[in-house]
Structure 1
Amino acid sequence: MYPDAYIRYLIHFHTDRDYFECHEILEEHWKKDGYKKVWVVLIQIAVALYHHRRGNQRGALRMMRKALTLLSKEQKAIRELGLDEQRLSKQLECYIERMEQNGAYESIELPIRDETLRKTCQAICEERGLTWGKASDMNDVFLIHKHKLRDRSDVIAARERKKTSKELPTS
């Protein structure tokens, strides 16, 4: 019923709190799914939390505000993803207020209203030995700074190949 990418997003979001991976998973799906804005809402929430956890209050606040604005336009689509759009909106408003008052990062739970979706995710977590609802590990440096510490050699090589192919003379 729900896309596999969405299930994977929810599992990362609620277990290891790997918001960078949440972003990567849904961005890829977003491109394949016709650039639907509902996915952008969820991507922006993950990115905002990633920035906030890293101490980038300004970037987090800007991204969370964008997510809230887009959520107001995508309420039906959010509901169709099994989330409670009204609770999510209130949750984002409260989180924004928290950030405006320089509150520290805090792990959140997305308000899943579809019990079948929640149970599916939790069953997958149980199979994999993951803990649903676990708070973010603030001592995991790789998790917190993943965009800087991950292996990007494949991305760099692809860019170099593209650059080289543009520089080749055509007949």
Structure 2
Amino acid sequence: MKYPLAYIEYLYYFHIDRDYFECHEVLESHWKNNGKERTSIWVGLIQIAVSYYHYRRGNKIGAIKMLNKSHLLLSYKEKEIEELGLNYNELMRKLERSLLDLQENLPYRAITLPINNPILMQKCLDYSNNSAIHWFDEIDEAPYEIIHKHKLHRTKNYVYASR
């Protein structure tokens, strides 16, 4: 299977930088250039990133809303998820666990997406210069600039627009 570069970038940002805002950006651009179908698997993956962005920032209502939407959309996409090199059952379990954590008011905890295709994993490693660091670690050491990127992004755009 040929994996779009935007998908590899999404996986990189999701696992290495924990830059969920950037995950959203790269995959949304890919989605917009490939039909903009509202039930696309890309939308479900974007919603996962958005939900974890909200969760990490303490917006549990937004996180639950996005995670529920993602879970519902992806529940009909088993074949496509598997074709994208992810383990469907494990992914759904992780999303369900995160929903329970949110509902129980537990603090944010990073997850890994269950990559189970060796070709995809090698492409990810190649993209990250063969750095295996963090690919399967559920750690998050993202700096303030990544955690609050939407605020900084808006401010940056405003500054540029006002010049």
Which letter does structure 1 place at the counterpart of 2:96? E
Which residue is 1:89 aligned to? 92
Q: How big is the shift at 1:141? A: 1.2
Q: CA deviation digits over 1:115-140, x for unaligned, max 9? A: 1111221232235x6833352225x1
**In terms of Rg, which structure is larger?**
1
Shift of 1:45: 0.3
Amino acid at match of 2:133: T
Q: CA deviation at 1:144?
A: 0.8
Measured in 1, the distance between the counterparts of 2:125 and 2:100 equals 30
Kindly provide the amino acid, as one letter, of the partner of residue 152 in structure 1: N
CA distance in 1, matches of 2:93, 2:132: 28
Alpha-carbon contact 2:8-2:127 (below 8 Å) kept: no
TM-score of the superposition, structure 1-length normalised? 0.84
Alpha-carbon distance in 2 for matches of 1:22, 1:65 = 18
SS in 2 for 1:14: helix
State which of 131, 136, 141 in structure 1 corresponds to 2:140.
136
**Which residue is equivalent to 1:63?**
66
**AA aligned opposite 2:140:** S
**Offset of residue 35 of structure 1:** 2.0
Residues 20-169 of structure 1 correspond to what in structure 2 (within 5 A)?
20-36=21-37, 37-127=40-130, 131-133=133-135, 135-137=139-141, 140-150=143-153, 151-153=156-158, 156=161
What secondary structure sits across from 2:7 in the alignment? helix
Q: CA, structure 1 residues 156+70, in 2 after alignment: closer, same or farther (shift >3 Å)?
A: farther
Structure 1 range deviating more: 113-122 or 60-69: 113-122
Q: Which shows bigger deviation, 148-157 or 45-54?
A: 148-157
Query: Which ranges of 4 or more aligned residues in structure 1 deviate by more than 3 Å?
Result: 153-157
After superposition, the CA RMSD in angstroms is 1.9
Whose RCO is larger (CA < 8 A, sep 6+)? Answer: 2
Deviation at 1:155, TM superposition (A): 8.4
